Amino acid sequence: MSPSGESTEETSKSSVSTQGNALDQRQRMKIINVVYVIAALDITWMFLQFSVTPYLAKKLGFDTLWFGYLQTMVGVIQLFGGPMFGRFADLFGARVALSLACSSTVVFFLLLAVANHPAMLFIHKIPTVFMHVLPSSQMVVADLSEPEKRADALSKLGLCFGIGMVAGSTLGGHLNTRYGETFTACFGAAGSTFSLLLVLKFIPKSTKVQAPGTNTEGGNKNKSVFSVGEITRLMKFPRVTPTFLVKIIVGLPSGIFQVMFSIIALEFFKLEPQQNGYLMAYFGIVQMVIQGGVIGRLTASYSDNSLLLLSIGVSSFVGLAQAYMQNVFQFCIIVLPMMFSLSVFSVITDSILTKSVPSSDTGTMMGLCASVQSLLRTVGPTVGGFLYVNYGISSIGLIQFFVNIVVFVFMLQRHLRKSTEHRE
């Protein structure tokens, strides 16, 4: 790592130590554990929503292309909202940020509950501009965890993601099948209200060393949430720009498959809502095992660069397998390496990025990471819809294979060249 990069990590370690003076270890662990609960609940409500929207859209006359436009709208909104919300969290603190995110989720579900016209499906997506519970949770965990344990701490959020995926998919499938879309959406609104109450009760105003809006490390001097310069400033830190490029290039093909999966499940696998819920629950169980029992051990034994290479290599062959799968059983086998590569890739890139910037900017950085996912959701549905309709599901998998294998070879050569230079 470059001298400036070492300085950033030393500063981050010092920041956590200073934070320990304000919050002792027990308090920090209590806050982190509550954040894990809030994140798990938020993912539960989101996957509950996934059991409603595709089927409601079909009832309202949406075809694959228009459903892609709906998903693209969410991506565009969160693409611009993510970095701004991350900056908002850095300036105003964790409690305010998480309260806003949970409140927006309540409004989101209430609008979904009354959606009885195609236009209402688009309108109910507007609150997603503030629905950033997971990035806010990542910010809190990054603020309160030691740098050397950060990847493991962030991976536990992935475990929460798996728990929420299982609970939300199973619950959503049952509720939608038995009581319909409106009741399921109202249930999501009630659950999001409970998440909001947890935030107000247990999350402190700020989890940073400095009070929100101040910074002795040279950033955040401009207190404007909409300061593009303050947001893009983070790209100048060592490793940030290359990691972001890898995150986008590698994430795009797999992102296309993810955003198209609800359509693939409906049309290619021909699953009913309850069956789709079981399949999503299976995803969650696999992710829980990987995030809870695998990633922590890997990060303790191998470097970030080695794990990043591993995740990209595995992802390339996952794409090849997806291109030739024929049924749900084959896909269930593919899910194992697919969830492994996605989980490791997400945790390692987030860990690298948060360790590359000062602690006062972790919220903005997590917002930028969220914007990468939003970018994928923006172009993914349109590109995925075009590929699926014109060339079939195999085209999505083949693109993932070729893109990932090219990036893998390039990064491997770069890694080997740096290792050789270091030995010399």
How far CA 398 is from CA of 318, 322, 405, in Å, comes to 10, 8, 11
**What is the C-alpha separation between 202 and 15, in angstroms, rounded?**
22
pLDDT at residue 10 tops 50: no
Residue recorded with tokens 């693209």: 72
* Per-residue pLDDT at 218: 42
With respect to residue 6, please indicate whether it lies within any of the assigned structural domains: no
Which has the closest alpha carbon to 183: 193, 175, 191?
175
Q: Which of 39-48, 93-102, 265-274, 305-314 has the lowest mean pLDDT?
A: 265-274
CB atoms within 10 A of CB 61: 8
Bigger pLDDT: 404 vs 177 = 404
pLDDT tier at 18 (50, 70, 90 boundaries)? Answer: very low
pLDDT at residue 153 tops 50: yes
pLDDT digit string, tens, across residues 278-321: 787 788 788 888 887 788 888 888 888 889 999 999 999 999 99
Domain count, the chain: 1
Q: Which domain holds residue 402?
A: 21-208+235-423
With respect to residue 12, please indicate whether it lies within any of the assigned structural domains: no
Can you give the pTM of this predicted structure? Answer: 0.72
With respect to residue 43, please indicate whether it lies within any of the assigned structural domains: yes
pLDDT at residue 195 tops 70: yes
pLDDT at residue 256 tops 70: yes
Q: Which of 44-58, 166-180, 360-374 has the lowest mean pLDDT?
A: 360-374
* Per-residue pLDDT at 226: 61
Average pLDDT over every residue of 27-49: 91
pLDDT at residue 3 tops 70: no
* Per-residue pLDDT at 26: 81
CA 384 to mean position of chain CA atoms: 19
Q: Are 359 and 143 in contact (CB under 8 A)?
A: yes
pLDDT at residue 394 tops 50: yes
Q: Are 79 and 371 in contact (CB under 8 A)?
A: yes
CB atoms within 10 A of CB 297: 10
Q: What is the mean pLDDT of the chain?
A: 82
Residue recorded with tokens 């296309």: 256
Average pLDDT over every residue of 176-182: 88
* Per-residue pLDDT at 405: 94
Average pLDDT over every residue of 396-422: 87
With respect to residue 225, please indicate whether it lies within any of the assigned structural domains: no
pLDDT at residue 215 tops 50: no
* Per-residue pLDDT at 106: 96
Q: List the end-to-end C-alpha distance of the chain, in Å, as a whole number.
A: 17
pLDDT at residue 21 tops 60: no
* Per-residue pLDDT at 424: 64
With respect to residue 182, please indicate whether it lies within any of the assigned structural domains: yes
pLDDT digit string, tens, across residues 371-385: 777 777 777 777 887
Look up residue 226 and give its two tokens: 């909409």
Percent of the chain with pLDDT over 70: 88
Bigger pLDDT: 410 vs 70 = 410
The CATH number covering residue 188 comes to 1.20.1250.20
With respect to residue 223, please indicate whether it lies within any of the assigned structural domains: no
* Per-residue pLDDT at 337: 94
**What is the C-alpha separation between 34 and 239, in angstroms, rounded?**
31
pLDDT at residue 105 tops 90: yes
How far CA 190 is from CA of 102, 182, 185, 203, in Å, comes to 11, 13, 9, 20
How far CA 354 is from CA of 8, 130, 358, 362, in Å, comes to 10, 21, 8, 6
pLDDT tier at 338 (50, 70, 90 boundaries)? Answer: very high
pLDDT tier at 232 (50, 70, 90 boundaries)? Answer: confident
How far CA 408 is from CA of 50, 166, 300, 319, in Å, comes to 32, 32, 23, 14
pLDDT tier at 209 (50, 70, 90 boundaries)? Answer: low
pLDDT at residue 403 tops 90: yes
Angle between the 273-293 and 150-179 helix axes, to the nearest 10 degrees?
170
* Per-residue pLDDT at 1: 41
CB atoms within 10 A of CB 263: 23
With respect to residue 248, please indicate whether it lies within any of the assigned structural domains: yes
pLDDT tier at 8 (50, 70, 90 boundaries)? Answer: very low
With respect to residue 321, please indicate whether it lies within any of the assigned structural domains: yes
Percent of the chain with pLDDT over 90: 21
Burial, 21: exposed, middle or buried (Cβ in 10 Å; 0-12, 13-18, 19+)? exposed
